[in-house]
Amino acid sequence: MRTIIFLLCLLIASANYAQTYTQIKVNNDITLVKIADNAFIHISYTNDPKFGRFPSNGLILINNNVAFLFDTPTTITQTKELIDFITDSLKLKIIGFVPNHWHNDCTGGLDYLKKIGVKTYANQLTIDILKQKGQIYPDGGFKDSLQLFLGDKEILCYYLGAAHSMDNIVVWIPSEKILFAGCMAKSTHSTNLGNTVDGELKTYPITIKKVIDKFPYAKMVIPGHGNFGGIELLTHTLKLSKSL
């Protein structure tokens, strides 16, 4: 019952915030939400036999005619549909990709991205886990942090510790003050931490506190599922992690 309520909250939250911002419907399973002049959230919906239909968030950062992608939809088919729309309708070329962690709601389309020549980067822990599981993995790894550039826009990736998963990172876009925190951050509608079977509950609050301390001026915080917001998502997640 708690799982059903959690997923219903995700669906309601996703619908509510999407109505506030400009939306582009790619198809019945993919929607783009414009959150800044140079950034979109991509929302993809997965039909799971156990949990039903639920949304997952990713980020697209744009600079002129090129873009960086953070997380893919859960499948190669949806990833191709998303990339085709970005290429054909938005007239952008995806030149780089970073996943938040190893789960398929972050890396499900990685194989397709590599086949079309997108440069791929990840936390070295993410690469190691995917290798151990015999799955496709990104090319470039980093240990603690990684600095990338999309033209003159800086992209900063940080591994601050285990939480939702052992390898989860955060991505900071200074020019937009956007923090893509992924699944370690929970929407304010969330009543629990969700799936933590591959994470670490003991370090969860420590990691979230590090994120709060490092990015106190984040304008937007984007979770892996559900509604984005401000720093209140992180403080809410901290409370949830301390309550366990």
Which residues are tagged catalytic? 101, 103, 105, 164, 183, 186, 195, 225
Single-letter amino acid code for the residue at 39: A
CA distance 220 to 38: 13
Question: Which residue is it, tokens 């200074």?
Answer: 174
Question: Quick check: 72 and 110 in contact, CB under 8 A?
Answer: yes
CA gap 122, 117 in Å, rounded: 16
DSSP 126-149: HHHHHHHTT----SEEESSEEEEE
Q: Which residues contact 121 (CB under 8 A, 6 or more apart)?
A: 96, 97, 98, 138, 139, 140, 141, 142, 146, 148, 157
The Cα 236–Cα 244 span in angstroms is 13
Asked if residue 204 lies in contact with residue 196, where contact means CB atoms within 8 angstroms, the answer is yes
Angstrom distance (rounded) from CA 193 to CA 6: 10
DSSP-derived secondary structure for 24-58: EEEETTEEEEEEETTEEEEEEEEEETTTEEEEEEE
